[in-house]
Structure 1
Amino acid sequence: MRKFRIECGVATASAADTMTMDVHGKGKNVNLRIDCITRSMLANVPDLLLDLLEIATYVYCADQRMSRGTAQLTNFGENWRRDLHFTIPVRDPALWQHSEVQRLLEDTLGFLSDDSYTFEFHKAKSPFLSRDVYFQDLIDASSDYDAVAMFSGGVDSFAGAVQDVVLRGRSVCLVGHSSATKVKSIQQQLVDGLKARGFERRVTYIPVWVTNENVRPNDHTQRTRSFLFACLGMVIAHMSGKDRFTFYENGVVSINPPVAGDIVGGRATRTTHPRVLRGLEELFSTLLERPVQIENPLQWMTKREVTMLVQEAGMADLLATTNSCTRPRTWTAAHMHCGACSQCIDRRFGILAASLGDHEPATNYKIDLLTADRSTSDDLRMAVSYVSFFKKVAATPKERFVVDFPEIVSAINSFPDISAGEAANRIYDLFQRQAKAVESVIAAGVKEHAEALFRNELPAGSLLSICFARNSVEILPSSDYDSQAKALVDRLSAPVFEFAIDETGRKVVFRSAATLTEANFRIVEQLLPDFRSAKKEGREVPFTPPRTLAKRLRISEPSLRTQIRRLREALEPLVVDLGLPLDNDSFIENRPHAGYRLNPAVRELSLADIRASTIPGAPPVAPDVTTGSP
């Protein structure tokens, strides 16, 4: 775990390895600006909320400055997490030094970004500027509205806004944070669109700027953004005389279990995870000494269902103006969505499943969801993992759901108005509906592009080609077409990896002539006896605990995780070579708290059989890069 020390409110660090941050002093290198606040609201800001604003700003901006592991990191553990120690001047140190406040702050942030946090608060030595230092463009207007809601400019936040404003007739103050002018412009266009439809009196927009000044970000995951967002919401709500505010996010993304093996911990966004919202509620309630509530009215809706709210409100023509992409650096006038990040993939599936594709051209995406070649980077693995994940969800009975998807356990106890059992049932139903939406998009895509698929005219690295398993395409008869298209989708989560063991050459051989050798072979060699005996006896293949496997290989557990990652990376070319969907568990399966095993779905053949079925001209898997293991 990498350690960082951050001294805030100072221009000069006390040690060479310490980062300095200042939001308003001589060493100012962080920007915080909140526009369009009414003068009456400004009078209602206590010192503790100004402290909260500054703490959230420092945490968010420091999060961006301090790097994590590489983009390809699968061994997220010690190399991905960070140990962050903040020293921050505050107006009311006694409050912030309270053990319960510090516990809530550290625990909530720790779960949110998967880092370790400690805080040291002290009384500010220099006088603070006036309370309006962060509030620009004060206005004379009413601050009397029904709700305060966070507004990002994405599909979900816009759908939530139109549900409240248009369908429910409520007045809403939309608080929009942006760190780039492109994002601010999108939010403003959507607000202007609502006002132009006759809802001007029901919509108030407060833009907020929080950015690093003259510093290039080292980490773009922005896992602490929702902490900043929530603190902004709390401040604006309190200034408006309210003890509640709203996030708009569909329930699948809110709970957001990792769809790919390396999208875990800090790499899996938890921006509106129920546990995070409950932790923030408790923190704010403790600070203000009265109950605070954070609502998410879209919690039990899928992306498709949320998107359909926009159509129901008669705002489908504004759908293309919304933006969900997490990579604004890649945006161009022609392509406002990268099409590769998880949010773009989730968005496009939702829009197509809602039959609203006509309101958002595919050309808005740099990479088309279904037909673009994704084989040149991690883009293919993310898209295939997304579909494979929801196919696995669809095949999971309710009684196995919590067992097979343990990531949801942290959510089921975080709904105060329902029991854990009821929450588990609702989450299961929610994910089943999402799985059906994903399946419908793939099936429709297979049907639409059937001729191109049959003729191998789509790129081998396209999502449809992988789903269609292009190396074994058969002509589909015109009758019963839909059921056969569905059967193609059903093959998605059940790839048949066929392999053989070359005992003499000490390597694993696949049908493409690809091989695993050296350290990669030794891992398979250790897992093979349990796999073979379980298959022979017709029983479940057991997992080997990490400690046991590492001991057999005479390496440490961190080294084992590194080698498993490298083995999985070495297999990635097989996605295109064999036309099989591939995720991290397709060959060597990992289950938390259980260990590793060869996936029971793989099939061992004789060396002669595997060589007889080798695909001519297929390139070998990249050779082993590990030299440190025996």
Structure 2
Amino acid sequence: MEKTSSQASLRPLGPVRLFFKAPGERRRPPREADVVVHLFEPDAPGLPIFHNFREFWPLRDELAGSVKSFLCFSLGVWAADKLVCRASWPDAWTREIVLEFPSSSDLLKAGQRLAHLAGFLTGDKWDLRPREAPLPLNFGASWPQFGKPTAVVLFSGGLDSLVGAIDLLEEGHRLVLVSHYDYGQLAATQQTLAAALAQNYGRDRLYHLQIRVQLEGPELSLRSRSLLYLALALTAAGAFPTTLPVTVPENGWISLNPPLTLNRLGSYSTRTTHPYFIRELAGLWQDLGLGFGVANPGQDLTKGEMLARCRNLRLLRELFPLSVSCARPVVGRWRRQPAGACGYCYPCLMRRVALHRMGWDRGEHYRVDVLGQASALRHRVQGQDLRSLCLALKTWQENPGAILARLWWGEYKPGETEGFSAPWRLLTTGFQEIANWLYGGGEAAIRNFLGNDGLDALPASYPSD
């Protein structure tokens, strides 16, 4: 690795070595470290991770070591994921990363399991080296409410997390909504939605915990982001005397994330809430004595089904325009346009598919209406994900087994996947939603690309909700 102070110019000549410095740690980073990161400390060597961890509540004594160690592990993986460019590696994807991170004694023997989790998410080869070190993270906030929460929910500001929060509130839960943000517009979206929920259900029913974690880095794929989000949720849950369930609301289509084309196999398609990852993470937490369960209530549902089955459709219809599903909501700034949903990234497309099922899809809500612009399908950038979606639909119509064969299950035993999802039903319903959206509102160019045979084969209606 060429030694450099600029993370943008890291070029591999071997494994990249990242050293995560603990707050106040006097130990000098090893000379062979290619990059050093730290939770922001003035004048500390290396690259700062900016944060507001003071907003966390003090942890239960018996959990503090394991929870803080898992948080540091997740921060280290996330930092390396941002700093090491995939394009510099021989296959332009798979990196070799050595991560040395501070830990209590609780995680010292879990290095291989942690490396397996990180590798499943990112598709990289991880050599994790936890070292015992004090972890003075200084969580000093006070719980401001008179009632204790009954669940912790990840709250991204997207449509799925909005549905998940509404459903749990309708069930009578008192929630901690945990949000991560690294730029202002996302924080504002989360605040607006949380305030609307509090106004509807009462301020004593939820507390919105927004955690900033920010590090500048050149790599944008960020396959490890869910690891950080779950670590933040775990840190919030660990403050309370009872063991709270951690809920990760995401639709099963994105959770399984069937590769649309052959060049999206493996971790090229995200695995952020894949059932195998969730199962392995829950098992690790149990073995560490943490006892927190992790659940995704949308695991067996498409995004359209999640919306259709929401327990308060009136409120969802009122609030969904305030949510953001876009992968690049700030791309408009480069053209001096207001921020907003781009309309052509994969999350925007799947959002529109789901909203079409509800009768709520409006092309004018997006910077680019891919169904209303004849040129969108041919556009090099704006049509990339749309073309992939169309190709996947054609493959499904001609040979559905080919799509099913692309799914990656992790290290399951034969037949074990049946307990985690119903992939055939999920794919059938998901592609039906996609086809109805594309055929129902698409330009002639899209319909011609797909052909009319697929339209004739579509079922007349969805399965009963």
Specify the TM-score bucket, using the shorter chain as the normaliser: 0.7 to 0.9
Helix, strand or coil for the counterpart of 2:73?
Answer: helix
Contact persistence 1:23–1:54 (CA under 8 A): no
Q: Does 1:381 align with 2:394?
A: no
Map 1:498-537; keep pairs closer than 5 Å. Answer: none
- For residues 27-60 of structure 1, give each alpha carbon's deviation from its aligned partner in whole angstroms, at most 9, with x where no partner exists: 3611232365456x57675122112212211211
Mean Cα displacement is larger for which, 55-64 or 250-259?
55-64
Map 1:335-414; keep pairs closer than 5 Å. Answer: 335-357=339-361, 361-372=362-373, 373-374=375-376, 375-396=378-399, 401=401, 404-410=403-409, 413=412
Q: Does 1:179 align with 2:206?
A: no
Which structure is richer in relative contact order (CA contacts within 8 A, separation 6 or more)? 2
- Aligned pair partner of 1:169 in 154, 172, 197: 172
Q: Does 1:114 align with 2:123?
A: yes
Helix, strand or coil for the counterpart of 2:315?
Answer: coil
1:407 maps to a residue whose letter is R
Distance 2:201 2:130 in 1: 48
Map 1:49-448; keep pairs closer than 5 Å. Answer: 49-69=67-87, 78-92=91-105, 95-98=106-109, 101-124=110-133, 129=136, 131-132=137-138, 135=139, 137-142=141-146, 144-166=148-170, 168-212=171-215, 215=216, 217-240=217-240, 241-242=242-243, 244-288=245-289, 291-309=291-309, 312-331=313-332, 334-357=338-361, 361-372=362-373, 373-374=375-376, 375-396=378-399, 401=401, 404-410=403-409, 413=412, 419-421=416-418, 426-446=422-442
Contact persistence 2:435–2:455 (CA under 8 A): yes
- For residues 353-381 of structure 1, give each alpha carbon's deviation from its aligned partner in whole angstroms, at most 9, with x where no partner exists: 22112xxx423322213123333324323
Helix, strand or coil for the counterpart of 2:264?
Answer: coil
Q: Does 1:467 align with 2:447?
A: yes
| Residues 1:109 and 1:97: Cα distance change in structure 2 (over 3 Å) | same
Distance 1:490 1:269 in 2: 32
| Residues 1:370 and 1:12: Cα distance change in structure 2 (over 3 Å) | farther
Mean Cα displacement is larger for which, 12-21 or 266-275?
12-21
Compute the TM-score of the two structures, normalised by the length of structure 1.
0.63
Distance 2:56 2:62 in 1: 11
- For residues 466-491 of structure 1, give each alpha carbon's deviation from its aligned partner in whole angstroms, at most 9, with x where no partner exists: 33249xxxxxxxxxxxxxx9547469
| Residues 1:105 and 1:235: Cα distance change in structure 2 (over 3 Å) | same
Helix, strand or coil for the counterpart of 1:270?
Answer: coil
Where does residue 7 of structure 2 map in the other structure?
Answer: none
**Residue 396 (structure 1) shift:** 4.5
Distance 2:183 2:128 in 1: 29
Distance 2:245 2:413 in 1: 17
- For residues 525-561 of structure 1, give each alpha carbon's deviation from its aligned partner in whole angstroms, at most 9, with x where no partner exists: xxxxxxxxxxxxxxxxxxxxxxxxxxxxxxxxxxxxx
Where does residue 615 of structure 1 map in the other structure?
Answer: none
Contact persistence 2:118–2:126 (CA under 8 A): yes
Distance 1:86 1:139 in 2: 34
Distance 1:139 1:65 in 2: 35
**Residue 107 (structure 1) shift:** 0.7
Helix, strand or coil for the counterpart of 1:405?
Answer: helix
**Residue 421 (structure 1) shift:** 4.4
| Residues 1:381 and 1:244: Cα distance change in structure 2 (over 3 Å) | same
Where does residue 536 of structure 1 map in the other structure?
Answer: none
Q: How many residues align?
A: 432
Distance 1:136 1:238 in 2: 13
| Residues 1:178 and 1:285: Cα distance change in structure 2 (over 3 Å) | same
Q: Does 1:31 align with 2:32?
A: no
- Aligned pair partner of 2:37 in 21, 33, 45: 21
1:366 maps to a residue whose letter is R
Distance 2:305 2:365 in 1: 21
Distance 2:74 2:324 in 1: 24
Distance 1:412 1:104 in 2: 13
Distance 1:421 1:128 in 2: 41
Runs (5+) with no aligned partner, structure 1 = 71-75, 454-464, 471-484, 493-630
Contact persistence 1:171–1:203 (CA under 8 A): yes
- For residues 208-258 of structure 1, give each alpha carbon's deviation from its aligned partner in whole angstroms, at most 9, with x where no partner exists: 11111xx3x211111111111111222222222315311000001000021
Matched-pair identity in %:
21
Contact persistence 1:163–1:313 (CA under 8 A): no
Helix, strand or coil for the counterpart of 1:468?
Answer: helix
Distance 2:124 2:440 in 1: 41
Helix, strand or coil for the counterpart of 2:153?
Answer: strand
| Residues 1:391 and 1:146: Cα distance change in structure 2 (over 3 Å) | farther
1:436 maps to a residue whose letter is Q
Where does residue 573 of structure 1 map in the other structure?
Answer: none
| Residues 1:47 and 1:419: Cα distance change in structure 2 (over 3 Å) | closer
Distance 1:162 1:108 in 2: 30
Distance 1:128 1:346 in 2: 41
Distance 2:78 2:321 in 1: 29
Contact persistence 1:7–1:87 (CA under 8 A): yes
| Residues 1:239 and 1:396: Cα distance change in structure 2 (over 3 Å) | farther
Contact persistence 1:159–1:306 (CA under 8 A): yes
2:114 maps to a residue whose letter is L
**Residue 409 (structure 1) shift:** 5.0
Distance 1:269 1:275 in 2: 13
Helix, strand or coil for the counterpart of 2:430?
Answer: helix
Compute the TM-score of the two structures, normalised by the length of structure 2.
0.83
Distance 1:421 1:282 in 2: 18
| Residues 1:229 and 1:321: Cα distance change in structure 2 (over 3 Å) | same
Helix, strand or coil for the counterpart of 1:410?
Answer: coil
Distance 1:270 1:186 in 2: 24
Contact persistence 2:145–2:204 (CA under 8 A): no
Contact persistence 1:251–1:299 (CA under 8 A): yes
| Residues 1:340 and 1:261: Cα distance change in structure 2 (over 3 Å) | farther
Contact persistence 1:35–1:207 (CA under 8 A): no
| Residues 1:43 and 1:189: Cα distance change in structure 2 (over 3 Å) | farther
Structure ID, larger Rg = 1
| Residues 1:69 and 1:266: Cα distance change in structure 2 (over 3 Å) | farther
Distance 1:219 1:53 in 2: 21
| Residues 1:468 and 1:304: Cα distance change in structure 2 (over 3 Å) | same
Distance 2:420 2:100 in 1: 39
Where does residue 545 of structure 1 map in the other structure?
Answer: none
| Residues 1:78 and 1:3: Cα distance change in structure 2 (over 3 Å) | farther
Distance 1:411 1:223 in 2: 16
| Residues 1:394 and 1:243: Cα distance change in structure 2 (over 3 Å) | farther
Contact persistence 1:45–1:238 (CA under 8 A): yes
